[in-house]
Amino acid sequence: MIDINLIRNNKEVVIENLKKKFQDEKIGMVDEIVDLDKKVREIKTQGDELRKERNDISGMIGFLMREKKVDEANLKKQEVVDINRKLEGIEKEEEELNEEIKKRMMMIPNIIDDSVPIGHDDSENVENERFGEPIVPDYEIPYHADILESVNGLDKDSAGRTSGNGFYYLMGDIARLHSALISYARDFMINKGFTYCVPPFMIRSDVVSGVMSFKEMESMMYKIEGEDLYLIGTSEHSMIGKFKGQIVKEDSLPITLTSYSPCFRKEGGAHGLEERGVYRVHQFEKQEMVVLCKPEDSMDWYNKMWNYTVEFFRSLDIPVRTLECCSGDLADLKVKSCDVEAWSPRQKKYFEVGSCSTLGDAQARRLGIRTKGEKGTYYLHTLNNTVLATPRGLIALVENNYQEDGSIKVPKALQPYMGGLEVIRKNN
């Protein structure tokens, strides 16, 4: 949610931003907010004048009572009753108008950074940089689900019976490899100075609406029937919500956290070969990084964070690239975002394994997360980035370490988490 002062004083910037994001249907909403805000301020002025009048009359009542002028005092008391009745109506109208403003403000996207490329959707995202040499071996790389099944590491048939499409059982050494990836990602970020957290896996609706747009909420989140709780789609939701309504000490900034959680997403519209494996699933695990910082430091942290993910995958000898998200592909709360994509030697192309975003003060403004310093009280900036989301990370690892004999090499960084195992074979 942006600052309403921007709409009051420079609505052209907001309208231009809507055009860059191809959300022209919301332009009329800006004028609606301006009109509603004008009404609120007029009503507020009326209320302030009535309160002043009430205070003056209250003073007169005290004087009249001291002078034993009881009848005159009673008349003044009735005036106070009438003013209170008017104030009650004014305050109710002000509350209703503010709620209407909030509904519209929640739908106005954040102001994107000047560096964001303009484009309609993810097909117009722009490659930034490649890290590592993408290799295609001279032998065939099977479909990732077939590789996992060949070493008795994946059972989707049983998951279909217990849970339906989009679920899976990981078994044996593959399950262990999956856990090794998560553990290594955790320690990787701890070594970068981040504080490790395990958050709640369910959050209330006021936190959900604070960390994401309504459109994302409807398409992603699973709601717990009969309760005001949602299953998280990423631990960022819980981690930012942790600071809801708080005034954070300025000398504690930046706050750098890395969190583990299972994640749950509807993932509607999945189709194609890749989605029939474990690429697009309803349940996965994730190591996340979250930063809360001063506004002037947010872009530096943004660049540090995506670089950490690149470094993580390169430490596993997985080639990656970064892809700048265009304006039309940015979620409404985001100022700037880039995807980290891993190389698939089977598909001979890159695929998404993580995303890094800076959201400015949008989440902090929605959730009331502030700090107080020499310049007064102000909203913090929030950032989030995927260290590892798996099974996608597992797919990248397996494909890039698949050997001609059907075995899978275990990267050196993961071997301590695998009891020293160097190769996963069919007979392991």
Single-letter code of the amino acid located at 228 = D
Query: Token pair of 14, please?
Result: 């907001």
State residue 426's pLDDT score.
85
Q: Which run of H or of E encompasses 61?
A: helix 27-66
- Residue 139 DSSP SS3: coil
| Class of the domain covering 4-105 | mainly alpha
Residue 369: phi and psi, rounded to 5, are -100, 115
Could you give the CA distance from residue 250 to residue 252 in angstroms, rounded to a whole number?
A: 5
Contacts of 184 (CB under 8 A, 6+ apart): 413, 414, 417
- Residue-wise pLDDT tens digits, 62-113: 888 888 888 888 898 999 999 999 999 999 999 999 999 999 999 999 999 9
Residues in the chain: 428
From-to residues of CATH 1.10.287.40 in the chain: 4-105
The whole-number average pLDDT for the span 341-360 is: 97
Q: What does DSSP assign to residue 271? A: -
Torsional sign, CA 160, 162, 163, 167: negative
Q: What is the DSSP string of 4-60?
A: HHHHHHHHHHHHHHHHHTT-GGGHHHHHHHHHHHHHHHHHHHHHHHHHHHHHHHHHH
CB atoms within 10 A of CB 50: 16
Looking at the predicted structure, is the pLDDT value of residue 275 above 80?
no
- Residue-wise pLDDT tens digits, 204-214: 999 999 998 76
Residue 31: phi and psi, rounded to 5, are -65, -35
- Give the strand order in the sheet containing 202-203: 202-203, 230-231, 222-223
Query: In 233-327, which ranges are continuous DSSP H helix?
Result: 235-241, 298-314
**What's the burial of 340, exposed, middle or buried (CB within 10 Å: 0-12/13-18/19+)?**
buried
Contact call for residues 334 and 294 (beta carbons, < 8 A): no
CATH code of the region 122-424:
3.30.930.10
**What's the burial of 200, exposed, middle or buried (CB within 10 Å: 0-12/13-18/19+)?**
middle
Looking at the predicted structure, is the pLDDT value of residue 269 above 60?
no
- Residue-wise pLDDT tens digits, 174-184: 999 999 999 99
Contacts of 12 (CB under 8 A, 6+ apart): none
- Residue-wise pLDDT tens digits, 412-428: 999 999 999 999 998 75
From-to residues of CATH 3.30.930.10 in the chain: 122-424
The whole-number average pLDDT for the span 373-381 is: 92
Could you give the CA distance from residue 328 to residue 139 in angstroms, rounded to a whole number?
A: 39
Name the β-bridge partners of 242.
Answer: none
Looking at the predicted structure, is the pLDDT value of residue 320 above 80?
yes
Could you give the CA distance from residue 80 to residue 367 in angstroms, rounded to a whole number?
A: 37
Cα–Cα distance list, 411 to 85, 121, 354, 427 (Å): 74, 36, 20, 19
State residue 68's pLDDT score.
84
Asked which of 48-52, 60-64, 82-86, 406-410 is least confident by mean pLDDT, the reply is: 60-64
The separation between the first and the last C-alpha atoms of the chain, rounded to the nearest angstrom, is 53
